[in-house]
Amino acid sequence: MGEDISEGRFTLEDYRRFANCLERETELLGHWLRSREEPGCSRPRLGFEIEAWLIDQDCQPLPGNEAFLEAFDHPMAALELAQFNVELNSSVFQTGTECFCMVLEELTETLRRARAAAEQIGGTLLMAGTLPTLLPEHLGLHHMSRRTRYQALNSAVLERRAQRPLRLEIEGREHLRHQHTDVMLEAAATSFQIHLETQPTVAHRVYNAALAASAPVLAASGNAPFLFGKLLWEESRIPLFEQAVEVGGFGDSARGPVRRVTFGSGYLRESILEAFEENRQHFPILLPSRLPENDATLAHLRLHNGTIWRWNRPILGIDADGSFNLRIEHRSLPAGPTLEDMLANTALLLGLIEHLVSQAGNGHGALEFASARDNFYAAARYGLRSRLRWEDRQPQPARQLILQRLLPCAADGLDRLGIDGSERDHLLGIVSARVQSGQTGSIWQQRWVDRHGRDMKALTRAYRDWQGTGLPVHNWSL
């Protein structure tokens, strides 16, 4: 999905050709999905992406990701949109015994090497949903990573908008209104992305369960309260990213009924193919790259899917042996505050998804889609102060819901996945302690500012130092 393309400009014939290939490959995907046998007892695999900031000694964005990659010298790292962002990837892990121990061991070593590489170029690596010191002037094309894909995406979005600037407006604790002339706004949000493999026959139920579970996990994980110096949502990344590539869906209008960054339009009924059919029918092609026709890897379908940023995105991947794999990419969680915090968030999400899928029904329990969507945006805006529905009962405080009902459900799901009891209790214990204390990464940042004043450089420095200890955020002091 993140592979580069060779063309920066496209013709009408490119769009026509790509659309024909996309239609054919979507049909082929349907044949592949229908040909899969019922899943056996094998447990799903996991993978992770950490988007991180490069900052200098003054806690300002450091546009040096190419130099960082050279110093890091490892295939698990990649460029991101902005020159001060990098992506760190994990291996693929089988869920089951000692799964999280192995993940922790690998990612700890990856971060150690990444921090050493950042030091070699005179900077520091920081995992945060948004960077408190970031300003609009940092987000210009002069800081765009040198990849044709990014340049072509910027051109395509602006062409769809008839060259009108992107409008960012977030009403939170404070009000942010800003216009931007390119897609670099997207680079202001960095996430921790979880990839969960699924079998084709149950993929639609796993997708639905991920939608239902998204809100409570996000409520417990907020880490992005500030943007351009304004105090906004507990997870300001959510409205930021949704507006950063706003090109709409149907027709040529700048804003259509289906957004490119979206919670979704509804639960899936019978097959994950429904999501890929929606991709083809309702989302205009942005990057009609001249890929080989009759490509057995369904390259057109995968490229098009990569330009639609659902918060839970189905992905058709390719294994090393050339076979397909199907997974759900969960995109709504922020990077940071620490590796243990992120793995605790992962445990809560995976446990809830597995618990929901194990129940009768279509994976979402009794939670209506409208409630799941409303929950998601309430969790993003208010975090642990939000009120959420579960099983379509009356809304209740997120902290009460998580502690009394959802942590036991997550524990049940992790048991079903074969996760060790000690790992289960340790990671869910971090979530429990965080929720009981009320101190997410977002709340810690706000408390720090309340105590010390709105000095974003000093806030970033304190956040960096606490992150360096590795202690989960509920243990951080002011």
pLDDT tens digit sequence for 65-106? 999 999 999 999 999 999 999 999 999 999 999 999 999 999
Which residue carries 């520091």 as its tokens? Answer: 124
Residues in the chain: 478
Bridging pattern class, strands 124-126 and 45-55: antiparallel
Does 251 have pLDDT greater than 50?
A: no
With pLDDT > 70 as the criterion, what percentage of the chain qualifies?
Answer: 95
Q: How confident is the model at residue 476 (pLDDT cuts 50, 70, 90)?
A: very high
Residue 273 pLDDT = 98
- Maximum C-alpha span of the chain: 61
344 sits in which H/E element: helix 339-358
Does 254 have pLDDT greater than 50?
A: no
Bridging pattern class, strands 324-330 and 192-197: antiparallel
Q: 467 and 437 in contact (C-beta within 8 Å)?
A: no
pLDDT tens digit sequence for 144-185? 999 999 999 999 999 988 899 999 999 999 999 999 999 999
Lowest-confidence pick of 198-202, 248-252, 361-365: 248-252
For the residues 370-380, what does the mean pLDDT come to? 97
pLDDT tens digit sequence for 5-31? 777 789 999 999 999 999 999 999 999
pLDDT tens digit sequence for 267-318? 999 999 999 999 999 999 999 999 999 889 999 999 999 999 999 999 999 9
Residue 39 pLDDT = 53
* Residue 451 exposure: Cα atoms within 13 Å on the Cβ side: 11
Q: CB under 8 Å to 232, separation ≥6 — which residues? A: 170, 172, 173, 174, 176, 225, 226, 239
195 Cα distance to chain centroid:
10
For the entire predicted model, the pTM comes to 0.96
Rounded Cα–Cα distance for residues 245 and 152 (Å): 13
- Local structure of residue 168 (DSSP, 8 states): E
For the residues 431-437, what does the mean pLDDT come to? 98
Amino acid present at 202: V
Q: How confident is the model at residue 3 (pLDDT cuts 50, 70, 90)?
A: low
- Local structure of residue 322 (DSSP, 8 states): S
3-state SS, residue 220:
coil
Lowest-confidence pick of 175-184, 213-222, 245-254: 245-254
3-state SS, residue 145:
coil
Q: What is the mean pLDDT of the chain?
A: 94
Q: 390 and 408 in contact (C-beta within 8 Å)?
A: no
Q: 285 and 304 in contact (C-beta within 8 Å)?
A: yes
For the residues 347-356, what does the mean pLDDT come to? 98
Q: CB under 8 Å to 119, separation ≥6 — which residues? A: none
Task: Answer positive or negative: Cα dihedral of 350, 373, 443, 111.
Answer: positive
Residue 309 pLDDT = 95
Does 125 have pLDDT greater than 60?
A: yes
Rounded Cα–Cα distance for residues 162 and 158 (Å): 6
- Local structure of residue 404 (DSSP, 8 states): I
124, β-bridge pairs: 55
3-state SS, residue 180:
strand
Q: Describe the crossing of helices 421-437 and 99-120 by its angle, rounded to 10 degrees.
A: 60
Lowest-confidence pick of 53-57, 390-394, 467-471: 390-394
Q: How confident is the model at residue 40 (pLDDT cuts 50, 70, 90)?
A: low
